Amino acid sequence: MRSQQRIVLELERRQDLEGLEAQQAESRRAAAEDRSHKKEEDLRKEWRKEDQKVRFWGDLRQQRENLDREKIHKEQEKEERQKEIVHNQMITGERQHESDLQERRRQQQLQKASKQRVSKRVEQFYQQAEREALKDEGLQQHLREHNLQALRSAMLY
C-alpha cells in the first residue's frame, strides 16, 4: 500500500512539475510574443514618424517651389509693366518730336538694360534652384541614411 501511495505521490509530483514547466514555458512564450508585438508596434511608429517627416519636407519643398513660381510670375508682370512704361515713354518722346536717332539710341539702351536684368534674374533663379536642389538632395540623403539606420537597428532586434 505504501509503495502504491509513493507511486501515486511521485506521479502527482511529476505531473505538478510538468504542469509548472508547461506554465513557465507558456509564460516565456507569451512574454516573447508581447516583446515581439511591442517591437513591431515601435517599428510601425518609427515608420509613421519617418513618413511624416518625408511628407513634411516634401510639402515644404512644394511650398518653396510655389513661392518661387509666384515670385517669377510677379517679376514677369513687373517687367511687362516696365515694358509698357517704356513704350509709353517712347510714344511721349515721339510726340515731343525727339529725333529718330536719339529715340533709337534710347531704345537700344533700355533693351540692353532689360536684357541684362532678365539675364541677371534668370541667372539668380538658376543659382537659387541649384542651391535648393542641393539642399533637397542633402535632406533626402539624410533621410535615406536615417531609414537605413532604423532598419538595421530593427533587424538587430
Residue 132 has pLDDT above 90, yes or no: no
* Average confidence (pLDDT) over 39-44: 94
Residue 95 has pLDDT above 80, yes or no: no
- Map residue 146 onto helix, strand or coil: helix
CB-based burial label for 82 (10 Å; 0-12, 13-18, 19+): middle
* Average confidence (pLDDT) over 58-71: 95
Residue 157 has pLDDT above 70, yes or no: no
Residue 97 falls in which region: left (phi positive, over 0), alpha (psi -120 to 50) or beta: left
Residue 94 falls in which region: left (phi positive, over 0), alpha (psi -120 to 50) or beta: alpha
Question: What is the four-CA torsion angle of 36, 39, 43, 49, rounded to 10 degrees?
Answer: 140
Nine-digit cell string for 40: 513591431
Of residues 45 and 133, more confidence is placed in 45
Q: Which pTM was predicted? A: 0.36
Mean pLDDT of the chain: 88
pLDDT-based confidence at 81, cuts 50/70/90? very high
pLDDT value at residue 64: 95
